[in-house]
Amino acid sequence: MSPAMSLVAETDRENELPESQYQKGVRHLCEKGIEKVPTKYILPLPERPNLSYKSANDININANSSSYNLNLPIIDFSQLQGSNRYHVLNSLAKACEEYGFFQLVNHGIPNQVISDMFHVAKRFFELPFEERSKHMSTDMRSPAVLESLGLLETRKGAESENGNCGLEEFEDGSQLIVMNCYPSCPEPELTLGMAPHSDYGFLTLLLQDQQVKGLQIQHGGNWIFSNGRYKSVLHRVLANSTPRISVASLHSLPFSSVIRPAPKLVNGANPSRYKATDFASFLDYISSCEPRQKNFLESRKVT
Ligand SMILES: O=C(O)CCC(=O)C(=O)O
Ligand SMILES: [Fe+2]
């Protein structure tokens, strides 16, 4: 679409809704039967997904690979306990360093549990707005928080008394389950399902819709805990004319922990590249309007 044509598309929007309707979330807007993407969600041209041409920096992640898709490293979880452990651990480290993403197979989670999870998420999002909105809260410590897009269920472990950044701290760490609902979008080429962001924390396990694709990752971004060795990669989700649900389980240290590069990875030759940070700073950052590319880690870089 040429810039002139896009200008016409952006100014020719009828039936814009009152601001109060937007605060009720995108799913609510879609339930109202919108036929065009409201102006406030239309992205400037350079930030829109180019659905016919994928930039070399964008990598689509989905179950059935197409010509644009990168072959993601595959980690066989069942082999982690066997004689192949050393090899699998090496592949895991390489995947985290090179891509910041991998596909986990033979994880042992029963198919029934996975389909129940999707079923529960779907049932929740199908509830009337009045029911869903009972869970609306900005307090991340409440057991369930409804944001405009998804439902977060938070579980906070006991605080660790150990101040170092060893893996044992994760045993008492925090888990956040995010159920994302991407309703059918009338004009997927004008917007995104989820803006570019990097996840906070140690590891995100993502359960994706097998039928509807949308997740894209970009090369770049660094993860604070590893002092830049393992990446918390920038990723985004395309809008789609078919509704999509995903469930992300974010595993991290206790919410109150201060996170900094692991002392073992910092020395004279490799000085700390990131400022210490905590979960509250992350929440402040992602709820701020700028910048659009929400790479929290970049914002914590020592300049
Ligand atoms: O929906 C997806 O595939 C990704 C969701 C995501 O990036 C997130 O919840 O942080
Ligand atoms: Fe994410």
Report the pocket of ligand 1 as residue ranges, CB < 6 Å: 178, 180, 194, 199, 206, 208, 214-215, 235, 237, 246, 248
Question: pLDDT band at residue 210, thresholds of 50, 70 and 90?
Answer: confident
> Which residue from 202, 235, 249, 282 has its CB within 8 A of the most atoms of ligand 1, so it is best to mutate?
235
Helix, strand and coil percent figures for the chain, each rounded to 5: 30, 20, 50
201 CA to middle of ligand 1, Å? 14
Checking if the pLDDT of 219 tops 80, the result is no
Checking if the pLDDT of 179 tops 80, the result is yes
Ligand nearest to the CA of 249: 1
69 CA to middle of ligand 2, Å? 19
Atom of ligand 1 nearest to the CA of 235: 7
**Alpha carbon nearest to ligand 1 atom 9, residue:** 248
Is the four-CA dihedral 36, 41, 42, 48 of positive or negative sign?
negative
Length of the chain, in residues: 303
44-95 residue pLDDT tens: 988 888 765 444 444 555 433 333 455 678 999 999 888 999 999 999 999 8
SS3 230: coil
> Which residue from 178, 180, 192, 295 has its CB within 8 A of the most atoms of ligand 1, so it is best to mutate?
180
d(CA 194, CA 302): 27
Residue 279: CA atoms inside 13 Å, Cβ hemisphere, count?
Answer: 19
> Which residue from 206, 211, 232 has its CB within 8 A of the most atoms of ligand 1, so it is best to mutate?
206
**Alpha carbon nearest to ligand 1 atom 1, residue:** 246
pTM of the model: 0.72
Ligand nearest to the CA of 233: 2
Question: How far are the Cα atoms of 78, 97, 207, 224 from residue 105, in angstroms, in the given order?
Answer: 8, 19, 12, 27
37 CA to middle of ligand 2, Å? 23
Task: Indicate if ipTM > 0.90.
Answer: yes
221-272 residue pLDDT tens: 433 344 566 767 788 888 988 989 999 988 887 777 788 887 877 888 888 8
Atom of ligand 1 nearest to the CA of 208: 3
* Omega before 271 within 30 of 0, i.e. cis: no
